[in-house]
Amino acid sequence: MSILFVGSELFPYVKTGGLGDVMAALPRAIRALGADVRLLVPAFPSIRSGVDVLGEAAVLPELMGGGPARILRANAPELPLYLLDQPAFFDRPGGPYGHPGDLARRFAALAWAAAHLGRMGDADGWRPDVLHGHDWQTGLMPAYVAYGDGPRPATVMTIHNIAFQGRFPPSMLSELWLPRHALTPEGVEFHGDICFLKAGLKLADRLTTVSPTYAREIQQAGGHGLEGLLTHRNDSLRGIINGVDRDIWNPAKDPNLVSRYDLKHPARRMPNRPDFQRRMGLHEDPEAPIFAAVSRLDPLKGLDLVLDNVDHLVSKGAQLAVLGTGDPHAEGAFRQAAQRHPGRVGVFLRYDEAMAHHAFAAADVFLVPSRQEPCGLTQLYAQAYGALPLVRRTGGLADTVVGASPETLADGTATGFMFDTASGWALGEAINMALALFQDPSAWRQVQRRGMLTEFGWEGPARAYLDLYATIPAKGV
């Protein structure tokens, strides 16, 4: 079976969140099971300079009003790539989602190029059986397949975050190379707009999202307006949990750490603490429990609940370390918290991959208080690194953490802490529970051990995707 993944991020070249991690790890995991997966991404400068470009796969004289484009063949380690090389759209600074003026045409171009490869194949005659798009940036791909001529590959859309939908004015229809009849509820129209994600969810053969619980939530109150459509398509929707790439997120061989460790050598985790405290401007206090968060600062991530608990944490003798960027208001509030509690609260308001690794290896408690969390990867990385996740019961967090309770502590299944209501008070209660368990080192170690033993590998999810592809009946021309 041949599959073309399509998306806007690819670790380590372009990453703003978990999508980048998944786009790097999942296709490789499916390849390891024998399927021919390749990946189409925009030729952003950081990707282009990081991979080996092999030659031209297709030439497109003009694409989406952005001038001439080419699809290049390239190779990343263990992953064949296609790069959409269209200088006007992609060869410039500003990150994948900068330049809002041409956001719609830019990602329509990516979706169109994917549909083109799906229909026509590349210069060597390779043509995918399945086009698999990720998030709103690729939502028009099933539309271009549905409205175009020629062979029709199967289409799959994965929702990594339903809050981002790609909505644009209906006047852009022809600019986006969509036929007039596409602007209906059966096509790309959503409340009068063109909605990229809605188009994909309406027109793709199969839909997935990144956890079973989120698959249920988006058919109910968590659907950001798309719940009706998703309920209607319930039979075609699957929730498949993400995994951890053990080549990257593994404390036994992580080159970022000052001291590598594993379950057999837990004491070797300790030197990472003072190192991280120094990096974050925290006192090198060997006793203080370190609470950490590594996150986009977005309202859905619930970091405001952490802000509500800063004084509480400090009054209990804990330290707080926050690595995050995003909402300027939240950044300002964390900066102030650090000024208020020098040495007890440390903030790093940047995106820094190495610092994230340091945080997982040093934290005692890893905070993920999200209001919504489709899957979440940081609570998985935390478990792999022996930091106990403290999460809200939502989406993939509910599916991947077993909250400590008298029962789960007694039967040894607990892997972290969980709270229900999205309030500062409820988070505070969970923090108290974590602080209480911290006083009992042997109970703490048992929870830590259980988390480190949990596999969260990519092989199971990769099989689930292959099974899903196999359920799509072949289509004619």
135 within 8 A of 164, measured Cβ to Cβ: yes
How many residues contact ligand GLC, by CB under 6 A? Answer: 14
**Does residue 377 interact with ligand GLC by CB under 6 A?**
yes
Whose Cβ is closer to ligand GLC: residue 239's or residue 451's?
A: 239
From ligand GLC, ligand ADP, none, which one binds at residue 176 (CB under 5 to 8 Å depending on kind)?
A: none
Neighbour order of strands in the sheet with 417-419: 345-348, 319-326, 290-297, 365-368, 388-392, 417-419
**Does residue 374 interact with ligand GLC by CB under 6 A?**
yes
Q: Which stretch binds ligand GLC (CB under 6 A): 13-21, 78-86, 176-184, 403-411?
A: 13-21
Whose Cβ is closer to ligand ADP: residue 53's or residue 355's?
A: 355
**Whole-number Å distance between alpha carbons of 435 and 448:** 14
**Does residue 391 interact with ligand GLC by CB under 6 A?**
no
Cβ 211 to ligand GLC, closest distance in Å?
8
Which whole-number Å values give the CA distances from 241 to 177, 212, 373, in the listed order?
Answer: 34, 7, 12
Which whole-number Å values give the CA distances from 432 to 144, 169, 436, 437, 443, in the listed order?
Answer: 53, 48, 6, 9, 15
**Does residue 376 interact with ligand GLC by CB under 6 A?**
yes
From ligand ADP, ligand GLC, none, which one binds at residue 343 (CB under 5 to 8 Å depending on kind)?
A: none
Closest CA to 234 of 249, 223, 248: 223
Phi, psi of 277 (to 5 degrees): -55, -45
Find all residues with CB under 8 Å of 228, minimum gap 6, and list them.
none
Q: How many CA atoms lie within 13 A of 206 on its CB side?
A: 22
Q: Residues 326-365: x/- map of binding to ligand ADP (CB under 6 A)? A: -------------------------xxx--x---------
**Does residue 19 interact with ligand GLC by CB under 6 A?**
yes
Whose Cβ is closer to ligand ADP: residue 289's or residue 324's?
A: 324
Q: Residues 223-242: x/- map of binding to ligand GLC (CB under 6 A)? A: -------------------x
- Is 305 in a helix, a strand, or coil? helix
Q: Residues 158-187: x/- map of binding to ligand GLC (CB under 6 A)? A: --xx--------------------------
Whose Cβ is closer to ligand ADP: residue 19's or residue 305's?
A: 19
Q: Two tokens at 260?
A: 């590598």
- DSSP run (H or E) holding 31: helix 18-32
**Does residue 18 interact with ligand ADP by CB under 6 A?**
yes
H-state helical runs in 84-226: 87-90, 103-120, 141-147, 196-203, 212-217
Side chain identity at residue 185, one-letter code: P
**Does residue 376 interact with ligand ADP by CB under 6 A?**
yes
Tell me the residue number closest to ligand GLC, measured at CB: 18
**Does residue 272 interact with ligand GLC by CB under 6 A?**
no
Cβ 378 to ligand GLC, closest distance in Å?
8
The secondary structure of residue 403, as a DSSP letter, is B
Please measure the distance between the N-terminal and C-terminal CA atoms of the chain and give it in whole angstroms: 18
Q: Of the candidates 377, 387, 397, 437, which one interacts with ligand ADP according to CB under 6 A?
A: 377
Whose Cβ is closer to ligand ADP: residue 76's or residue 182's?
A: 76
**Whole-number Å distance between alpha carbons of 365 and 100:** 37
From ligand GLC, ligand ADP, none, which one binds at residue 323 (CB under 5 to 8 Å depending on kind)?
A: ligand ADP
**Whole-number Å distance between alpha carbons of 169 and 448:** 50
Q: Which of residues 270-329 bind ligand ADP (CB under 6 A)?
A: 294-296, 323-325
Whose Cβ is closer to ligand ADP: residue 332's or residue 441's?
A: 332
Find all residues with CB under 8 Å of 272, minimum gap 6, and list them.
257, 258, 259, 261, 358, 361, 362
Q: Which residues bind ligand ADP (CB under 6 A)?
A: 17-19, 21, 294-296, 323-325, 351-353, 356, 375-378
Q: Which residues bind ligand GLC (CB under 6 A)?
A: 17-19, 22, 160-161, 210, 242, 373-377, 396
